[in-house]
Structure 1
Amino acid sequence: MQAKLCVAVILVAALGGCVTPAEQRAADEGRCRSYGFRQGTDPFANCLMAVDLDRSASQRARLESSFYGPGFYGPGWYPYRRW
């Protein structure tokens, strides 16, 4: 019984940080509206695109830093990890 409870708690904690695409879109739209852009205009669409590109770049940087680690590319190193 305790194992099931432990698994349930871990599952709830893991899924608690998940954001659905609809929630992410609403947050992005709110962010662009807070900058003063009106929905349905080209600048608003550009703002949404810039926010999405920024998020993608952040995710890519976070992935690269976690995989290779800081300072991986030093003298004599190859661009792949030696296992």
Structure 2
Amino acid sequence: MRIFPALSLIAMALALTACQTAEEIRAADEARCSSYGFRRGTENFANCLMNQDLSRRADQRAFMESNDDFFWGPSIVVGPGYYHHHWH
């Protein structure tokens, strides 16, 4: 069955992210931005933190989108009449 491996991957990903608290994630992001040379309290440091968060969210979206076909099957393109709703 194809769904079991994907569910296992999602469960593992959720378990791994659940291991880190929001404070731990924030501390890791701050450490990374500091290692890039940004100083705390500056606009560049805040932008770095925001980019870390956006990157994490993009990774999550990419993971979910990469599994869409697995769960829902391939996309099906329906002819133009489907979108126009001209049912006479």
If the length of structure 2 is used for normalisation, what is the TM-score?
0.61
Alignment correspondent of 2:26: 25
One-letter identity of the residue aligned with 1:68: D
Over 4 Å off, 4+ runs: 13-16
- Aligned-residue Cα RMSD (Å) equals 2.6
Answer 1 or 2: higher relative contact order, Cα 8 Å, separation at least 6: 2
- The count of aligned residue pairs is 62
Which 5+ residue runs of structure 1 have no aligned equivalent?
Answer: 1-12, 79-83
Q: CA deviation at 1:66?
A: 1.3
Structure 2: gaps (5+ residues): 1-11, 78-88
Is residue 51 of structure 1 aligned with residue 60 of structure 2? no
Measured in 2, the distance between the counterparts of 1:34 and 1:49 equals: 16
Bigger share in helix: 2
Change (3 A) 1:57 1:34: same
- Other-structure match for 2:62: 61
Deviation per CA, 1:24-80, whole angstroms, max 9, x where unpaired? 0000000000000000000000000011001101100101111224xx34xxx14xx
| Match in the other structure for 2:36 | 35
